[in-house]
Amino acid sequence: MPKLKTKSGAKKRFKITKTGKVKRANGWKSHLLESKKSKRKRSLRKASIVTKSEEGRVKRMLPYA
C-alpha cells in the first residue's frame, strides 16, 4: 500500500492532543475588530476543540498525526 499524503492545509490548521481530540484556532479575528467587544476578541484567542461529528473528517486528512 502506498504512503498516504497529509493535506497540507489541515496540517497548518489542526493539532491532535495527547488524548486524541483535535484542536483548532478560532476565526473572526482578522479585521473589523473595532465593533467586537474586548471580551469576545480575548476568548477568540484561545483554541477550540473540533466537534465529534467533524473529528473523523479532520483525522482522515492527517493520517500520521
What's the pLDDT tens digit per position in 8-49?
999 999 999 999 999 999 999 999 999 999 999 999 999 999
Contact 14, 24 (CB under 8 A): yes
C-alpha cell at 56: 473523523
pTM of the model: 0.85
pLDDT of residue 22: 98
Report the CATH number that the domain containing residue 26 is assigned in CATH.
4.10.410.60
pLDDT of residue 41: 97
pLDDT of residue 40: 97
C-alpha cell at 27: 476565526
Q: Is residue 24 part of a domain?
A: yes
Q: Is residue 3 part of a domain?
A: no
What is the C-alpha to C-alpha distance for residues 32 and 1, in angstroms, rounded to an integer?
48
| H helical segments located in the chain | 8-13, 38-45, 52-61
Q: Is residue 49 part of a domain?
A: yes
Q: Is residue 1 part of a domain?
A: no
What is the C-alpha to C-alpha distance for residues 62 and 55, in angstroms, rounded to an integer?
11
Strand partners, 15: 23
Supply the range of the domain harboring residue 41. 8-61
The count of structural domains within the chain is 1
